[in-house]
Structure 1
Amino acid sequence: MSLQHAIDDLPPTDTIDVSDPQLYLDDTWQPLFARLRREDPVHFCPDSPYGPYWSVTRYDDIMAVELNHAVYSSSSEVGGIQIADSPLGRDVVSFIRMDPPLHTVRRRTVSPIVGPSNLANMEATIRERTANVLDGLPRNETFNWVDSVSIELTTMMLATLFDFPWEDRRKLTYWSDVAVANIAAPDAPVRSDEARFAELDRMGQYFSRLWNERVNAPPKFDLISMLAHGETTRNMTPAEFVGTLALLIVGGNDTTRNTMSGGLLALHQNPDQWQKLRVNPALVPSLVAETIRYQTPVIHMRRTASTDALLCGKQIRKGDKVVMWYVSGNRDDGVIEQPDAFIIDRAKPRQHLSYGAGIHRCVGDRLADMQLRILWEEILKRDLQIEVVGPPQRIYSNFLRGFRYLPARIKA
C-alpha cells in the first residue's frame, strides 16, 4: 500500500493520537503524521494516556516552538521534556529540563568536553576502537549489530567521557535503558516508576564514589571531574545529581547507537545508496547527516506554554502541553525534498531537526557526527560486505526511535 492510500484510509484528524508507543514499535507512524501535516499541522488531542496535548508536526512550526523558550518552557517544574509527566515527587532535574539562565550556566559546565580541540584529541582513540570492534566481528555468521557494534562502540565512548571503570562500562548502557524505558514495554528493564528510581538511585551511589574521589583531586578533563569542580554544579541536590548523570548517559548513548543501527538498515533497504557510497566514500559526512534525519532517534520533545500564545493560527493556553514531533518535521515535504526517501547525496543534508535547535540543541552533536563518520569510514576502508538478514526488533517507546535487535552477517 502506498503512503497516500494509507493516509486516505485513516480516520478524521480529530480522532488521531500519535502518542501510542505501538506506532513506533510497528513503524507505522508515517501516514498519521502525513495527514496531520496536510490537514491540521498544529493538532489538539483532547484525550490520551498522557492527558491532552498539542502536536506540532511541520518543520517550521517546530522551529518556532524550539526557538521561543520564553513562551515554551522545558522546566521540570511545569512538566519537562517528554509527553509523559514525571511521577509526582520524583522530578528528574537536569539542565535539559531547565530554562535560562540556569540552563545556560549548567550546560556551559560540561560543553568543553565536546569542544573542537577535545574532539580532535579523541578521534584517534575512537578510530582505533572502531577498527578493533569491526575486526572482531564474526564472518559468515549472524550476529546482533545493535549489541555487537552500536551499543559496544557508544558504551566505550561513554566510559571515556566519564573516565568510568572500564570493566563496569555496560552498567552505563543498562542505566541509560532504565532512564528512558517505557515501563509498559514487555522487555522493559524496570516495570514500575518505583523500580526505575530505585535503579537510578543505585546509579547515583556508584557515581558518588567516583565524585568523592575527583572532587578532592585536581580537576581533570572528564565529565565527573567537570561537574565536581564546576561552580554551579559542585553543590547539586541529589535529584539534580541523578538527573544530570542520566541526561549525560542517555544523551551520549541512545542517539548515536540507534543511528548506527538505523544507518545500516537504511542502506540495506536502499542498495542503490550503498553502491553510491562505495563508489564515492567522500559522501560519508552526507550519509551521516541523512541517516540522523531519516532515523530521527529522538521521536519528540515536549514543552509547556508559560503564557497564552498563537501557533499556526491555534490558540495555545498557558499550561498546555506542546509536543514537537521531530519524526514528522523531518518528513515535511514543504521543507525537505522527497523526505520519505533515503538519499545520501542531498543538496542540504544537514537540514533536519534530529539534534533540536536553539539553546537546547544537542550538546554532543559534533561528537555523534564524528563517531558515525568514523564507523562508516572504517567499514568502507575494509570493504565489508554487510547484510541485514532479518527484520529489526524496535523498542516500545514514543520518545526514542530505537532498536533491540538487528540481525546482520558479514561475508568473509
Structure 2
Amino acid sequence: MHGTIDSAQRKVQQDAREKAYAMPLAEFHPGHPELFRSDTLWPYFERLRNEEPVHFCSTSPVGNYWSVTRYHDIMHVDTNAAIYSSDVKLGGIGLRDVSPDYAWPSFIAMDEPMHAPQRKTVSPMFTPKHLDKLAILIRERASLILDNLPRNETFNWVDRVSIELTTQMLATLFDFPWDDRRKLTRWSDLATALPKSMIYDSEEQRLTELGECADYFTRLWNERLNVEPRSDLISMMAHSDAMRYMDKDTLLGNLILLIVGGNDTTRNTMTGSVLALNENPDQYDKLRRNPALIDSFVPEVIRWQTPLAHMRRTALVDTELGGKTIRKGDRVVMWYISGNRDGEVIENPDSFIIDRARPRQHMSFGFGIHRCVGMRLAELQLKIVWEEILKRFETIEVVGEPKRVYSSFVRGYEDLPVRIPS
C-alpha cells in the first residue's frame, strides 16, 4: 500500500513542479488554498525565493498582494510594526481582507499602543512556573489518551489524539465546561475556514455559530467577573484594566485568537510529527534509539510543519523591500512556510533532521511584537506527547494519505489514518 501511495504522490509532486516552472511568474498566486490542500506549494515558493523573492500577485480572486518569501525579508517585515500594520480595520492578518462581518479586534490584529497591554494580560498563563504546573496535567491526559488507543486497527490520529489533547488543554486554560469542550474545536475550525472548505454550509450559519460562541463566553465572562480572580484566561481578562471593558466584538476577537492559537497550531504539528517520522524512517529510528533527541525534534517538527503558513500586514507608508516599491495600503504577506525552507539561512532546509545544530532557527512562531505568546506551551505539549508515545509504542504507522485542510493560512489536517501494531 505504501508503495502505491508514494508513487502516486511522487507523480503529483513532479507534475506540480513542471507546472510551477512552466508558468510565468506574473501569473503566480502562491496563496491559492488548493496548493496547500494538495501539498504542491513547494516548487512555487522555491521559484519565488530564487527568482523574485518579493513578488506582486495580480491574479488572486481576493485582491492583489505582495509575497515575501525569504527569511531575512520576512524578519524585516515582522519586526517593523511602524511600517507594516496588523490592524483588523486595515484588513487584518490573513491574505484575504477581513469581512466587516468578522472585523473582531484582537491583540494579534492590533498595533501599538493598544496591543501590548492586552497581550500582557494573558502572558502570565505562559510563565515557566505556570507551565510546570500544566506539564503535570498534560502528561496525565496524554497518558490516558494514548493508553486508550486501539491496536492493529486503523483510526484517525487527528481526531483521537491531536484534537482531543489540544481541546482538553484549551478547556483547562479557559476553565471551560469539560463536557462542552468540543465546541472549542468547532469554533476554531469555523473561525479560520474558507467558503470552499466544506466546514460550514453558508455564511449565515457560520455567523450564527460564532454568535453562539460569543454568547457562551459572555456568560462565562460575567460569572468570572463577579467572583474573586482565578488563574484561567477568562478570569485574567475580566479582572484586568486593559481588557475588562472590552466590547462584545473585541471579546470575541481575543477569544477566537486564543482558541485558534491554542488549538489549530499544536494539533496540526502533533499530526505533522507522526507524518514526518513516517516519511523519514531513518529519523524515526534515530529518535527511538535516543529519546533525548525529543528536545531538538520538537522545534524541527514545528519548522517542518509551519502550522500557520503566513501572516499578512498592510503597508502604512510607501516603502521599499527587496528592490520593489510597496505602496501605502498594499497587502504584504509573510510566507513563514517559505522562510522555513530558505537555504541561505537554514542548512538542508528541505530535509527533516531531528538533531539539527540550531533547530529553533525557524519562523513558525513569528517575530517582533506579535511573536506567539503561547509558543512554550506548544513545545511543551509536543515534547510530553512524544515522551509518552516512545514509552508505549514501537511505531505508529501511517497507512493512507493525509487529508489536508483547504487553506493557505492554517496548514493542517482533517484526517491521518494510522495503525499501531501490537
The TM tier, using the shorter chain, reads: over 0.9
Is contact 1:299-1:325 (8 Å) kept? yes
| C-alpha distance in structure 1 between counterparts of 2:201 and 2:314, whole Å | 27
Is contact 2:104-2:250 (8 Å) kept? yes
**For 1:381-396, what aligned pairs fall within 5 Å after superposition?**
381-396=391-406
| C-alpha distance in structure 2 between counterparts of 1:342 and 1:120, whole Å | 29
The Cα shift of 1:6 comes to 3.8
Q: Could you report, residue by residue, the CA deviation over 1:150-185 in whole angstroms, capped at 9, with x for unpaired residues?
A: 000000000000001111111100110011111212
**For 1:204-243, what aligned pairs fall within 5 Å after superposition?**
204-243=214-253
The Cα shift of 1:398 comes to 1.0
3-state secondary structure, aligned to 1:225: helix
The Cα shift of 1:230 comes to 1.0
- Cα 1:210/1:13, change in 2 over 3 Å: same
- Cα 1:319/1:409, change in 2 over 3 Å: same
The Cα shift of 1:7 comes to 7.5
3-state secondary structure, aligned to 2:360: coil
3-state secondary structure, aligned to 1:339: coil
**For 1:12-411, what aligned pairs fall within 5 Å after superposition?**
12-185=24-197, 187-188=198-199, 190-411=200-421
Unaligned runs of at least 5 residues, structure 2: 1-9
| C-alpha distance in structure 2 between counterparts of 1:10 and 1:38, whole Å | 15
The Cα shift of 1:43 comes to 0.2
| C-alpha distance in structure 1 between counterparts of 2:121 and 2:17, whole Å | 50
Q: Could you report, residue by residue, the CA deviation over 1:183-206 in whole angstroms, capped at 9, with x for unpaired residues?
A: 212x21x23333322211110111
The one-letter code matched in structure 2 to 1:125 is: L
The Cα shift of 1:49 comes to 1.3
| C-alpha distance in structure 2 between counterparts of 1:117 and 1:221, whole Å | 12
3-state secondary structure, aligned to 2:414: strand
Is contact 2:83-2:315 (8 Å) kept? yes
| C-alpha distance in structure 1 between counterparts of 2:405 and 2:17, whole Å | 27
- Cα 1:213/1:5, change in 2 over 3 Å: closer
The Cα shift of 1:89 comes to 4.7
The one-letter code matched in structure 1 to 2:386 is: W
Is contact 2:28-2:59 (8 Å) kept? no
Is contact 1:304-1:321 (8 Å) kept? yes
3-state secondary structure, aligned to 1:9: helix
Higher mean Cα deviation, 27-36 or 47-56?
47-56
Is contact 1:184-1:191 (8 Å) kept? no
The Cα shift of 1:103 comes to 0.4
| C-alpha distance in structure 2 between counterparts of 1:44 and 1:68, whole Å | 20
| C-alpha distance in structure 2 between counterparts of 1:5 and 1:138, whole Å | 39
Partner of 2:3: none
Is contact 1:10-1:32 (8 Å) kept? no
Is contact 2:393-2:420 (8 Å) kept? no
| C-alpha distance in structure 2 between counterparts of 1:184 and 1:92, whole Å | 22
The Cα shift of 1:15 comes to 1.2
3-state secondary structure, aligned to 2:142: helix
The Cα shift of 1:5 comes to 5.9
Is contact 1:7-1:35 (8 Å) kept? no
| C-alpha distance in structure 1 between counterparts of 2:296 and 2:245, whole Å | 42
- Cα 1:8/1:15, change in 2 over 3 Å: closer
The Cα shift of 1:9 comes to 3.5
- Cα 1:40/1:9, change in 2 over 3 Å: closer
Task: Tell me the TM-score normalized by structure 2.
Answer: 0.95
Partner of 2:4: none
- Cα 1:268/1:90, change in 2 over 3 Å: closer
How many residue pairs get matched?
A: 410
The Cα shift of 1:236 comes to 0.6
Q: Could you report, residue by residue, the CA deviation over 1:8-52 in whole angstroms, capped at 9, with x for unpaired residues?
A: 733121111112100000000000000000000000012311201
| C-alpha distance in structure 2 between counterparts of 1:93 and 1:191, whole Å | 25
Task: Tell me the TM-score normalized by structure 1.
Answer: 0.97
Q: Percent of aligned pairs with the same residue?
A: 58
Higher mean Cα deviation, 1-10 or 376-385?
1-10
Is contact 1:87-1:193 (8 Å) kept? no
The one-letter code matched in structure 2 to 1:16 is: F
The Cα shift of 1:212 comes to 1.2
| C-alpha distance in structure 1 between counterparts of 2:337 and 2:240, whole Å | 35
Q: How big is the alpha-carbon RMSD for the aligned residues of Structure 1 and Structure 2?
A: 1.4
